[in-house]
């Protein structure tokens, strides 16, 4: 049982490495293109609970900000329930079913976290919670009305994740900004 859990964790880690690596590659290639650059992700999400995953997501956001690429995302699950379907329930004990039912909402919410962070952090839009993909795509293609880029320099890079908060002092406006960054020591020496 423990080996199966370790294999599942290793497969999950390989999946987010591959997914975020591919997104990073696409964003880097898009940066060389002329005009407005918008990447649209349509996915049920992917779990990224480790520090390495946060670092990879931060690298994608750094590239997107540097190359002026907006990342929009649609949760392809649409409306979903967090209850287990009968095919997903094991024939095991009621306690195991109860634990699965308690864990599932947390897991499903975590799966969408990185898509929301990539969209929000790059000035994009995250569409979720409905089944109308056409309306979601139309919303994403319209883009934001106004776009501002704020920048700052980091005095002492330390390879740690740092949270950011951006606020506006004007009614009727919403802010889409990244939630944090990783200031890599190795990049400060370049």
pLDDT of residue 77: 77
The answer to whether residue 2 scores a pLDDT higher than 60 is: yes
Instruction: Write down the pLDDT at residue 25.
Output: 94
Q: What is the pLDDT of residue 26?
A: 95
Both tokens of 52, joined, read 């390495």
The full set of domain ranges for the chain reads: 2-146
Q: Which CATH number fits domain 2-146: 3.40.630, 3.40.50, 3.30.43, 3.30.420?
A: 3.40.50
pLDDT digits (tens, 9 = 90+) for 8-25: 778 877 888 888 889 999
Residue 189 DSSP code: T
Task: Please tell me which residue, 174 or 42, carries the higher pLDDT value.
Answer: 42
Residue 36: pLDDT band by 50, 70, 90 thresholds? Answer: confident
Rounded Cα–Cα distance for residues 118 and 72 (Å): 8
């Amino acid at each position: 049982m423990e080996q199966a859990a370790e294999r599942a964790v290793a497969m999950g880690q390989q999946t987010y490495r591959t997914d975020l690596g591919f997104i990073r590659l696409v964003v880097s290639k898009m940066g060389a293109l002329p005009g407005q650059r918008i990447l649209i992700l349509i996915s049920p999400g992917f779990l990224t609970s480790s520090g390495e995953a946060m670092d990879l997501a931060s690298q994608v956001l750094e590239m997107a900000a540097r190359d002026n690429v907006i990342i929009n995302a649609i949760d392809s699950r649409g409306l979903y329930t967090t209850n287990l379907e009968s095919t997903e329930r094991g024939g095991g004990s009621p306690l195991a079913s109860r634990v699965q039912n308690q864990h599932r909402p947390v897991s499903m919410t975590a799966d969408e976290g990185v898509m929301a962070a990539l969209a929000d952090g790059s000035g994009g839009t995250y569409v979720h919670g409905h089944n109308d993909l056409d309306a979601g795509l139309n919303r994403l293609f319209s883009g934001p009305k106004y776009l501002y880029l704020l920048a700052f320099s980091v005095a002492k890079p330390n390879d740690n994740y740092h949270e950011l908060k951006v606020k506006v002092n004007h009614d009727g406006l919403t802010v889409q900004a990244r939630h944090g960054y990783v200031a890599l020591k190795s990049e400060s020496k370049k």
